[in-house]
Structure 1
Amino acid sequence: MTQHAFIKLMPKSTQQTITLAEIKDLFHYYKNITAKTGDQVNWNYGEAAFPYVMNERTHNDHTLLELVSNEDRYNHFYVGVKEENDEHIIFLSLPENATFGDKGKANEFCRFLAKKLQGQLHLFNGRIMYFYKR
C-alpha cells in the first residue's frame, strides 16, 4: 500500500511557493552538510546519509523527483510538489515496494525539509509537526 507524507507551506513559512528544482537544491545542500559532518568524524557519512540518486520522472502530467538507491536496504521513493487552494504542498510517496530503510530516510528528509522551510509536516503515521511560528 502506498504511503504519503506531506509538508504544507504556511503563511509564516520562510517561503510560500517552491519548485522541484528548489527541492533538488535542498537535497544537494543536505548531501553537502552530511559530507562535512563525515569529514569531521573521518567517516564517509555523506553516502550513508543520502544513498540515493535523483531522477526526474513524469507521471500523470506531473513531474516527480524519484530517489533511487542501489544499496541493499533501500529501493526508491518519490518527491513532488502540488498546489491546492493557493497552498504549495511538498509530498513524499513510498510505493508498495519501498523498504523500511526508505521509510526511515523519507521521514528524515521530511523533517529536514519542514524544518528548513518552516512548514507544517504531516508524517506517514498521521501525526503533525509544526515548524513554523504560530
Structure 2
Amino acid sequence: MSQSAYIKLVAGSKNQDITLQDVQDALHRYREQTSRTGEQLGWDYERAAFPYTIESKGDERWFYLKGITSQYKHIIMGIGETASVSGEPAKCVQVVLPDESTHGDKSKANELCKYIAKSWLAELTMFNGRTVYYNPRK
C-alpha cells in the first residue's frame, strides 16, 4: 500500500500559493546546493544526494522522480488542497511512495520533504503521521 507525506502551506509560510513549477524549482535548488557541496568535497555528491530524474506525463497536477540507480524507483509529487486547522482550505504538496518504492526512496523522500518544508516555512506531515512545524508559530 502506498504511503503519503504532506507539505502544507499555513499562516506564516513564505507563500500561500504553490504550483508544480515551484516544487520543481525547489528540487533544482536542492540539486544545485548538493552539487556545490560535492565540489567542495571533491566528489559527485549531487548524484548521491539526488539520484533521480524529474519526469512528467503532461498532467498539470503531478510529476514523478524516476530513480537512476537500482536502489531507487519512484517518488510521486503533486499539488492539491487540504483543510487547515481553522477549517479553511490550504495548499499542499502530496509526496507519494508507490508500492514498488524502495527503502532508499523513502529515505530520500523524507529528506526532500524536510528540505522543501524548511525552505517554505511550511508544516510537514511525514509518512509515519508525525508533524514537523517549520513555520513560525505563536
Work out whether the TM-score is over 0.5. yes
Which segments of structure 1 move beyond 3 Å, counting only runs of 4 or more? Answer: none
Output aligned runs, 1:1-134, within 5 Å: 1-57=1-57, 63-84=61-82, 85-134=88-137
1:58 Cα deviation from its structure 2 partner: 5.5
Q: Which 5+ residue runs of structure 1 have no aligned equivalent? A: none
Cα deviations across residues 72-95 of structure 1 (Å, max 9, x unaligned)? 110011001002343101110000
Give yes or no for contact 1:6–1:90 (8 Å, CA) kept in 2.
yes
Q: Which 5+ residue runs of structure 2 have no aligned equivalent? A: 83-87
SS of the residue 1:18 aligns to? coil
Which stretch of structure 1 is more off in the superposition, 76-85 or 109-118?
A: 76-85
Amino acid at match of 2:64: E
Give TM-score, length-normalised by structure 1.
0.94
Whole-angstrom CA distance in 1 between matches of 2:89 and 2:13: 14
Among all aligned residue pairs of Structure 1 and Structure 2, give the percentage whose two residues are the same amino acid. Answer: 38
Give yes or no for contact 1:121–1:130 (8 Å, CA) kept in 2.
yes
Give TM-score, length-normalised by structure 2.
0.91
Across the aligned residues of Structure 1 and Structure 2, the Cα RMSD in angstroms comes to 1.2
